[in-house]
Amino acid sequence: MPQIGWYGLGSMGLAMASNLQRHVAAKKAISLIYSNRTMSRGSPLRALGAIPEPNFAKLVSQCGIIFTMVSNDSVLQSLLSTAMGSSQSLKDKIFVDCSTVHPETVRSAVSELKSKGASYVAAPVFGGNPIAVDGKLVFAIGGPKNATETVKPLIQDVMGRRVIDCGEDATKSSLLKIAGNIVTVNMMEAVGEAQVFAEKTGLGTGPMEELIGEAFGPVAGGYSKRLTTGAYAPPLDSRPGFGVSLAIKDARHAMSMAQEQGVELPGLELARANMEAARDYGGECLDSSTIYGTLRQKAGLEFWNEKSRKE
Ligand SMILES: NC(=O)c1ccc[n+]([C@@H]2O[C@H](COP(=O)([O-])OP(=O)(O)OC[C@H]3O[C@@H](n4cnc5c(N)ncnc54)[C@H](OP(=O)(O)O)[C@@H]3O)[C@@H](O)[C@H]2O)c1
């Protein structure tokens, strides 16, 4: 197994890299080399035996497989430019990106890396931070077969419970991720609406949450908990589980592709507008489920609930 590198230690990346490091340690393989913009976030990973490397180009030079898990397309593009801009050879290296990015970003990464003799595997994920911590994410993997087959054992039962193989065209796994997020964001809107309805009618959020979890499954139940525990608007010194700007990015990717294909996504459009209104009101430190805050305001309630932060 070649040396593995990891860039990106946010809400998802730190949990995923920690599981990968535990796996390589259990196999007595060489420890992960990690990097992040804020290197201090890597302390728990270092405690597990991983090796810090602040310079991404140096990390790439030492690794055969490089995972990235970053916020958006431009961060990914800038990392790949750094790797390709350095004079080192990228021949036979495998870049595995787990972030949610637009299929066009994937398309250009594939062709640029191919021209350097390297492979690009798109491996976006489904599931939030608690599922990443448990190593139970669902991955949508796409890329050259020899590269995906090399990478799958590092994912299955390590970081993920299921790997959906989207074939050799890496843009397809990115497309599946964007399509999946249409469901995610609409579900957050639906759960938020139901909980505001339950509160205003006097039904109460407790029985509503019990029903949502029981009748509509653990994912919907988890979204309800983000509202009732106040996690939709966490303390300002914390990092939201799934930052509102990340979900807005995902919704915009879906909407731009839908527009090109003449598809209407009215539910997603509404949820995006509610997320943007929430961000205008409460700033960046909000979870994507903060749609709920906007719905509360529209119903004449405070944006904040009794468990969320208050300003
Ligand atoms: N959170 C979820 O529930 C979830 C679920 C599925 C997929 N996703 C997708 O997974 C990706 C990561 O999500 P996340 O929740 O882990 O995000 P996050 O907590 O915001 O972390 C983002 C990561 O990108 C880095 N980053 C941000 N801007 C940067 C810049 N300008 N230069 C260099 N590095 C930068 C951050 O570094 P710092 O640590 O220095 O800030 C951090 O490592 C996103 O594409 C998201 O859409 C998220």
Ligand 1 contacts (CB < 6 A) are 8-13, 36-38, 41, 69-72, 75, 99-100, 125, 128-129, 239, 241-243, 246, 250
For ligand 1, atom 48, name the residue with the nearest CA.
Answer: 242
Per-residue model confidence as pLDDT tens digits over 149-196: 999 999 999 999 999 999 999 999 999 999 999 999 999 999 999 999
* Pocket residue to mutate for ligand 1, from 6, 69, 70, most atoms within 8 A of Cβ: 70
72 C-alpha to center of ligand 1: Å? 7
**Mean pLDDT of all residues in the chain?**
97
* Mean pLDDT by groups of 10 residues along the chain of 311 residues: 96 98 96 98 98 98 98 98 93 98 98 97 96 98 98 98 98 98 97 98 98 97 98 97 97 97 98 98 98 98 97 90
Catalytic residue check, 200: no
pTM here is: 0.96
Q: Which of 266, 286, 267 is nearest to 275 (CA)?
A: 286
Q: The tokens of 136 are what?
A: 């139970």
d(CA 162, CA 125): 10
Domain 175-299 superfamily per CATH: N-(1-d-carboxylethyl)-l-norvaline Dehydrogenase; domain 2 (1.10.1040.10)
7 C-alpha to center of ligand 1: Å? 10
Sequence spans of domains, the chain: 4-168, 175-299
Per-residue model confidence as pLDDT tens digits over 41-56: 999 999 999 999 999 9
d(CA 260, CA 172): 17
Beta bridge partners of residue 125, listed in sequence order: 139
The CA-based angle 73-41-137, given to 5 degrees, is: 60
CATH topology for the 4-168 domain: Rossmann fold (3.40.50)
